[in-house]
Amino acid sequence: DYLEYVASGGERLQGNSYTDTLCFDSPFEEDVYHTLVHQGYTIRTQVGCSDYRIDLAVVNNNRPGEFLLGIECDGASYHSSPTARDRDRLRQQVLERLGWKIHRIWSTDWFRNKPVQVRLLIERIEQLQQMNS
């Protein structure tokens, strides 16, 4: 699926499909979601097509049909191998070429110092919101 996606020039993700059903890959991802919703943000889960999805996407308050930021929630065990890290770097480059702004959160950073990670994430969202107002 991923190779087909890259070969399509990103067309398979440009539709930004999602459902209103909440879908999480991990309790960590769910915690990030609820933290942002509690802060007043509208968040969509598993945005994209097929198996190629962004974990969480922040809706642009000024343009509700658009997303401000894609959030990738990285679990420590999933990213323990160098090939996983390389794959994610390539994935992020493709998403950025499609116009996505990506913010990556490592589960270890989130659980060690959640207040700092929340602050950094909110600062990034607010910065993008101001740029898009």
Q: List the CATH number of the domain containing 90.
A: 3.40.960.10
Give me the long-range contacts of 77-81 (CB less than 8 A, separation at least 24): 79/106
In a domain, 49, yes or no: yes
Helix or strand run (H / E) with residue 106 = strand 102-106
Q: What is the pLDDT along the chain (133 residues), one digit of tens a residue?
A: 444 444 444 444 445 566 667 888 889 999 999 999 999 999 999 887 655 678 999 999 888 889 999 999 986 545 555 666 666 777 778 887 878 899 999 999 999 999 999 999 999 999 999 998 7
In order of 7, 87, 124, the CA distances from 90 in angstroms are 13, 5, 22
Q: Tally the domains of the chain.
A: 1
pLDDT at 64: 82
The reported pTM is 0.78
In a domain, 87, yes or no: yes
pLDDT at 10: 44
User: Residue 39's closest CA among 99, 121, 131?
Assistant: 121
In a domain, 56, yes or no: yes
In a domain, 133, yes or no: no
In a domain, 40, yes or no: yes
Q: Give the structural domain span for 29.
A: 2-128
